[in-house]
Structure 1
């Protein structure tokens, strides 16, 4: 009986002690990292962590108060003990750590981590170039980018071929200005309309729609010129449309000087012009330090070479401020993706992320080993993830006004539809075909005109020779007749006075 009273007394004392413990607010240690935890002017806190712990307190049922970690560190194992928030949990100075605390093997051996409320990975943050335009050299040649080099080459070749063919047609065609001048039917100025230089000038002037003084007179010349005109219309409209589309599409990040230097961790590891920065004592440093990958090891070796500038003390804003002070992209900051997203999506919009979509760790809440709240809080985190609450909190605190804050590095195995297509030779081949048909057909017609003219000229000479022969015969007859008349007159003089012969119709007429 006495034993039962003693047991009841002990049970009552335990219940009173348990109620007292539960009514005392939990001491939650954290660190100032926007947007996870930010201090307001009145001394209170706001941010992702505050909203997260509020929801968990409602689900699990506990009160809490937030206190900042004394040494302003996350937790690193140095000289046989942990620093930062992890150290406070181990020493019993805090009941829970609520911060963007990465789960690592070393930390998991001394504290209990809940299910991650965010998954993250290391990314590279760079400063945007001040002048986000193409380099001068690229801007100078942009007018030529609308067409492929093969199209420009064939267009120049078409110009020389057309000028040459036009000169040959106007030179040899008998119906052109040159022949008319020889026949006295044209002036010297008209005859010089299609000399070698003037033929090429005609082609150039019509190419830019500046008109012309005279056109070829022959049918063959006009056919060749018509083919060139059609080619010019297609060329100019195609070039104008392609250039308009090119100017409408702005330059890609990799086209702008300063963006193209670093596109991924491999580029970062293979260059010497950019200093690599990383937060000292964080999980990102631990990841690169312990990684066995060739790229990660190369990045860490470069950090080791220049520790004084590469290892940046907390808070993270120190690294962001240093990055923003740079005038050119000679400094790259490696940061975990969630925090990088926040800084790049908010004003002044001068930073961007090189993303490789690599998830290497997660952010979790931490408890001292054996904490009675650990299991319930971990289950509550899973429930909030399933209900979409964690996604809502992320959209609330990580959404900003800056656009195009992520640079997607182009991979060889990635298929991308370009926004602009250069006009290639296959697309432009129709115009070249029309020009070729016009020049060939014009040349054939010119040969036909030459043959017709020579045939007509030869037949005209034969007619003239026959007329000449007929005139000669008539002159011989006339001369004979004249000679005969001369002989008759002489004989009459010898015979005596002239005897008039009276025509028959006058016979029987009365004479006096």
Structure 2
């Protein structure tokens, strides 16, 4: 029995000595050795100088932790330059794999994820991150993306009203030219017999010429046409004034306005084909969008372009037409760096995939508790936020958070309420123009039915309507010839009358023919009244 107790005590002592030796040689007496810290060179977080030293948010964080804990840290970059993910063969790569193998004591900049927590430990949260969209900043006044620029000038109802008024004016003008007698005659005289009746296309062309202020080849002559044209021209002038004001407003941004991003959310990015999503292959964004149950996330992942690193994604974003999806710290860092051509867009939903960044440790590491206490002290004192502001917001570009989100909201497109009064007036004017045209038709028919008053017979010098009009010597010769013909006809008529009277007078005087021939009295007509025998008659 004694030997059994002796063996039990010996086993307990051996186990205690082994654990103590492991803690002492491993991480037990951590003050006696340098802590190996894993981190990846990343703009704003860890930058390597020419002399081999480091600077950035992570370097300053280690400096503050050293001041609190009294530890010595040495930075070691992973061989594969990856944060860590699980391969198909079940092995971990990146800093997570080196923590598992014991090549690193802690790792900075790791995102807390459930697969990683199964193999390593995490400290308390250092930074709260969320996904943001990094896009090229639009030029001032050109904040309308793609084909949506026309909606910044006039709303859809206004466009429909302008088109409807244009067609209405063209149709009514076409009817007036075809039906109104006064318009028809004036149009035929001015345009020509070949275009006696106007076509509908020419009526539209007349309205368009007036709308574009280019002048017209024909202006209405009738009262109805002019009445319609006055109101159409007034509608055009009013519309151009409103549109000019809206267009000028696009090029005059407010003094503290921030430009409007081409996409405002992940739903917008999933719905459009003009902006191409980009994110890092095997990164947090890639894994999130690939395994997400949200339909918009799946559509984004299907049409996304994968890049190998952040620099390549930022380069594509600066070229335009690309939305680089990254963590909020990354997006805010690059949006505040010269040449200040990028901007970060926050998802409107505050619950969109929130993530936290913490310090990764080996499983059951004794460093976890002191690190948690030190991080809490930095948060409570505000030093952690100051470090973040120092390296992420370098004040090289204006911060959009410091300005009210006006986004050119002072520019309002022309609304239907602005143009509705003139549109109603034009419709009423078109109806009245048709009524006036009807009055013109009735009046023309009544005047055409009045009896024609007879005039005096034409003189000898008058010219027949059938005679063609000429000029010069030909006209004079023609006039003389007609006068001579009329004189000859008059002479022949008078001679016929004289012969009849002469024969009547002879019969009345008893002069007859007999004997050997005709005998003639000394007085040819002795008893014939002198008034019946005109002296002008030839003998």
Deviation at 1:364, TM superposition (A): 0.8
Matched, 1:421 2:425: no
Match of 1:46 in 2: 55
C-alpha contact (below 8 Å) 1:261/1:267 kept by paired residues: no
CA shift digits 1:189-223 (9 cap, x unpaired): 7999x975599587565545567899877766654
CA shift digits 1:19-76 (9 cap, x unpaired): 9853655443333222211111222211011222223333x34142322135244345
CA RMSD of aligned residues (A): 6.1
C-alpha contact (below 8 Å) 1:264/1:355 kept by paired residues: no
Match of 1:376 in 2: 370
C-alpha contact (below 8 Å) 2:281/2:307 kept by paired residues: yes
Give 2:234's match in structure 1, choosing from 222, 227, 230: 230
Match of 1:68 in 2: 76
Q: 1:207-356 counterparts in 2 under 5 A?
A: 207-209=211-213, 223-245=227-249, 254=262, 264=269, 278-280=280-282, 312=308, 316=309, 320-321=311-312, 324=315, 335-343=326-334, 345-347=336-338, 356=347
Matched, 1:171 2:165: no
Give 1:108's match in structure 2, choosing from 110, 117, 142: 117
CA shift digits 1:230-255 (9 cap, x unpaired): 33332433443444456769997659
C-alpha contact (below 8 Å) 1:323/1:332 kept by paired residues: no
Using the alignment, how far apart are the partners of 2:434 and 2:300 within structure 1?
A: 69
C-alpha contact (below 8 Å) 1:134/1:251 kept by paired residues: yes
CA shift digits 1:261-299 (9 cap, x unpaired): 99547989xx9x98976455x655665677677777888
Using the alignment, how far apart are the partners of 2:285 and 2:239 within structure 1?
A: 56
Q: 1:438-453 counterparts in 2 under 5 A?
A: 438-442=429-433, 444=435
SS in structure 2 of the partner of residue 101 of structure 1: strand
Q: What TM-score do you get using the length of structure 2 for normalisation?
A: 0.54
Task: Report which stretch shifted further, 146-155 or 77-86.
Answer: 77-86
SS in structure 1 of the partner of residue 372 of structure 2: helix
Match of 1:399 in 2: 393
How many residues get paired? 407
Using the alignment, how far apart are the partners of 2:451 and 2:272 within structure 1?
A: 85
Matched, 1:153 2:147: no
Using the alignment, how far apart are the partners of 2:357 and 2:219 within structure 1?
A: 80
Match of 2:460 in 1: none
Match of 1:28 in 2: 37
> Can you give the 5+ residue segments of structure 1 that lack an aligned partner in the other structure?
1-13, 182-187, 304-308, 407-415, 466-512
C-alpha contact (below 8 Å) 2:154/2:243 kept by paired residues: no
Using the alignment, how far apart are the partners of 1:195 and 1:247 within structure 2?
A: 48
1:322 and 1:452, CA in 2 relative to 1: closer, same or farther beyond 3 A? closer
Matched, 1:389 2:383: yes
SS in structure 2 of the partner of residue 31 of structure 1: coil
> Can you give the 5+ residue segments of structure 2 that lack an aligned partner in the other structure?
1-20, 402-407, 455-539
SS in structure 1 of the partner of residue 110 of structure 2: coil
Deviation at 1:365, TM superposition (A): 1.7
C-alpha contact (below 8 Å) 1:125/1:340 kept by paired residues: yes
SS in structure 1 of the partner of residue 111 of structure 2: coil
Matched, 1:431 2:439: no
Relative contact order (C-alpha < 8 Å, sep 6+): which is higher?
Answer: 1
